[in-house]
Amino acid sequence: MEKVVIIGSGPAGWTAALYTARAQLAPLVLTGQQPGGLLTTTSIVENFPGFPEGVDGYELMTRMQKQAERFGAKTSFGVVESVDFSQRPFTLVVDGEKVAAETVIIATGASHKPLGVHGEHELETKGVTYCATCDGALPAFRHQPLVVVGGGDSACEEAQYLTRFGSIVYLVHRRDSLRASKIMAERTLANPKIKPIWDSAITEILDVQKDTVTGVKLKHLKTGVESLLPVAGVFIAIGHVPNTELFRGIITLDENGFVVPEPGTMTNVPGVFVAGDCADHIYRQAVTAAGAGCAAAIDAERFLAAASR
Ligand code: NAP
């Protein structure tokens, strides 16, 4: 029987593991299909406190893992297939094996929604990115034309942020108006360095043969006219998908699938806690996820202490 099982191994999961390990609870971390989470797909993380020169995303996650393991966290490269939270101890089926847990911390993160065009996957981290805050300041993007895809608050925020670095920021949206909140949309459209390209879709990201982004192919959705737009970076901001399907019907989710936390990091099931991007559609930063992981660990520890009294 595990005292604490942590589902997910991003900054939220490893921080929850570090704190519960130091509380002598020997947490079991189930890494999921992408050990280290989304951050491992980023090149340099320059906004995680304590790394003035920046740190490779993969290295940061490896360091977090080592730190948690040093205090007794156990790692299993397992994928959770199903959960039964109807009674305690909870039961998780992990790669066909049953795991019993007194408490569970859900830290399954979110996946970026992909565009699904040729060149996107091939050029990821070579000019294609899903996070302006993480990658916008990289030398390859400085004083270069950049393109953001999307029409929501994320796309507006990314475009505005990128105007600090790029020579011009194109905002490609499939409609003729933004979905973003009014204030964000107005601010974005008023920025002289942002040039919207309406009613358009990116149909291909170039140039896979050169192994770096040199531009995008565009299609005007009303006229069908195709064109080429030279850019050094493609920032995809068409939304995130929280990795919460496993908990549908068991844990309270909002209309977009994000876990709805009760006060603190509790969920609707006592003993099941949540941390990180699977419950956060606003901040979505490594450091806020790590902070939430810490909070969930403290909540789980207190829950166990109260249950044993
Ligand atoms: P979002 O509001 O769902 O917007 C996604 C945008 O991407 C939409 O404009 C959508 O187009 C477009 N899109 C979706 N799939 C596409 C595809 N396959 N190809 C091209 N375009 C596609 O997502 P978000 O901007 O990430 O925001 C998510 C939530 O977080 C929202 O509630 C938002 O308000 C919040 N948020 C808030 C802030 C802030 O307040 N500072 C910042 C970021 C996010 P359509 O418009 O045609 O559907």
- Cβ atoms of residues 141 and 128 within 8 Å: no
Arithmetic mean of pLDDT, 26-43: 87
> So what's the pLDDT on residue 47?
85
* Largest CA-CA distance found in the chain, in angstroms, rounded: 70
- Cβ atoms of residues 201 and 209 within 8 Å: no
Any residues with Cβ below 6 Å from ligand 1, and which? 115, 149-155, 157, 174-175, 179, 238-240, 281-282
Name the one residue in this structure whose structure tokens are 């393109």. 147
Strands (E), the chain: 2-7, 28-30, 44-45, 55-56, 74-76, 80-84, 90-94, 97-106, 110-112, 128-129, 145-149, 168-172, 194-197, 200-206, 215-220, 226-230, 233-236, 240-242, 272-274
pLDDT in tens, 68-107: 999 999 999 989 999 999 999 999 999 999 999 999 999 9
Q: Where are the domains of the chain?
A: 2-111+240-307, 114-236
Considering only CA atoms, which residue is closest to atom 34 of ligand 1?
A: 153
pLDDT in tens, 135-159: 999 999 999 999 999 999 889 989 9
Peptide bond into 52 cis (omega under 30): no
Considering only CA atoms, which residue is closest to atom 33 of ligand 1?
A: 153
Ligand 1 centre to CA of 196 (Å) is 15
> So what's the pLDDT on residue 131?
87
**80 — phi, psi (to 5°)?**
-75, 125
Tell me the CATH class for 114-236. alpha beta
- State the catalytic residues: 131, 134-135
Considering only CA atoms, which residue is closest to atom 4 of ligand 1?
A: 152
Mutational test site, ligand 1, from 147, 153, 282, max ligand atoms within 8 Å of CB: 153
Closest atom of ligand 1 to 115 CA is 18
- Establish whether domains 2-111+240-307 and 114-236 are of one fold: yes
Residue 79 and residue 74: Cα distance in Å, rounded? 15
Closest atom of ligand 1 to 201 CA is 20
CATH code that applies to domain 2-111+240-307: 3.50.50.60
Closest atom of ligand 1 to 151 CA is 9
41: pLDDT strictly greater than 80: no
> So what's the pLDDT on residue 287?
97
